[in-house]
A and B are shown apart, each in its own frame.
Chain A
């Protein structure tokens, strides 16, 4: 079955760039059926959609983060990536990657905790 796994540094310094990788197994990010999304959740708070990637190279971003976010992909490795620049403590959160089926997320990674601190 399809599985998603996030990876990346758990600690990022303020003003630096947060970089995460989502590795997809059991399915292809080149699929025409799905988008591939990033979502985050600060500790004890709700969910925030960050953005998504589609196999054609289309990217959609949350306008609230768009100036700092880049989502990209490496189809040969079946991975997609999140870069969030100029981070502050407010960017500390659990970051999830997920399969996006027309807007709703039907499969999620387990999540990875990222803390922004000096």
Chain B
């Protein structure tokens, strides 16, 4: 299986900050990577797919980049509503889909 490793595991930042979360794949996955936001007691919400394509309806403060093994999710101008846990997920075909362990983002 392809292992996905996110860093950091927890992150604390202030409103207005620019925040970056990284995700590393154990094998090359091209751009088959998605990012999700999950708030307590809620289902995950798709933010980005194909590494950098913003899902319809998602604020442009979220952006994704990277390819092959190294990926980043960036949140510009952090807002209180961005407090959540963020997951990356790879979806290379012929491989079980796997998620990162999550990054919990707290607003100071």
Contact = CB atoms under 8 A, between A and B. Distances in A.
A106 B97 CA distance: 14
B55 A106 contact: yes
Size bin of chain A's contact surface: 20 to 34
A117 to B, nearest CB: 21
B83 interface: no
A103 B97 CA distance: 7
A105 B44 contact: yes
B49 interface: yes
B91 A47 contact: no
Contacts, number: 53
Interface residues of B, number: 23
Interface stretch (A8-16, A19-27, A70-78, A107-115): A107-115
A64 B99 contact: no
A49 interface: yes
A27 B22 CA distance: 35
A106 B99 contact: no
Contacts of B91: 102-104
Interface in A87-118: 96, 98, 101-111
23 contacts: A46-B99, A48-B99, A49-B96, A49-B97, A49-B99, A62-B96, A62-B97, A64-B1, A64-B96, A96-B43, A96-B44, A101-B49, A103-B34, A103-B97, A104-B34, A104-B49, A104-B91, A105-B36, A105-B46, A105-B89, A106-B55, A109-B43, A111-B43
Interface of B: 1, 32, 34, 36, 42-46, 49, 55, 87, 89, 91-93, 96-102
